[in-house]
Copies of this chain bind each other. A is one copy, B any other.
Amino acid sequence: MEHKSTFRIPKILRIYAYYKIKWILSEYYSKINKVDHKSISMNTYTKYLMINTKKQRELINITEMVEDAVEEARIKEGICLVNAMHITSSVFINDNEPGLEEDFMVWLEALAPEDPNYKHHRTGESNADAHLKRTIMGREVVVAITDSKLDFGPWEQIFYGEFDGQRDKRILIKIIGE
């Protein structure tokens, strides 16, 4: 009985416990604060699609392939870049309607026609029009990912536009987010 009354927690341990508890609480409060700010850690995911079109010019709906990549990435909130890795092809978003696809091809031929007289052809190339067509349609799209899915409007679909095909081409998908 007398013994118990004389025992004290050593001072060094008391000081240690005091600062330790303060530190634990500060961690706790900083975590609460981070939640307020929706703090999350960043992940990235990279995927390459290989495409070899049957025709020299072709539009291919790649929406499902991009959706697969988003699922594989297991990213909940972020953005998804999809770009052609070649300079005679495009990635763009429009309507999945075969009539409109025909319209696009006719229209591109009017705006950027095939022609033997492009200066680019002095190099032995014959595809200058494909470089111009791809410029109209665009190289890339950036799509929001919300709640683990491509955050699309009602009719948005992702297309690969090939203007000088029948050979291996690559599409890059880069996802960054939570």
Contacts and interface: CB of A to CB of B under 8 A. Distances in A.
A100 B172 CA distance: 24
Contacts of A137: 135
A60 interface: no
A94 B155 contact: no
A59 B68 CA distance: 35
Contacts of A54: none
Interface string A65-104: 0000000001001110101111100001111011110111
A31 B143 CA distance: 30
Given A46-B144, A111-B111, A112-B107, A176 B39 contact: no
Copies in the complex: 3
Contacts of A78: 44, 176
A87 B77 contact: no
Nearest to A38: B43
Interface in A29-71: 34, 37-46
23 contacts: A3-B3, A3-B6, A9-B12, A38-B45, A41-B42, A42-B42, A42-B177, A46-B144, A46-B146, A79-B79, A83-B144, A85-B152, A86-B154, A87-B95, A93-B139, A95-B120, A95-B131, A97-B120, A99-B121, A135-B138, A138-B138, A138-B139, A142-B142
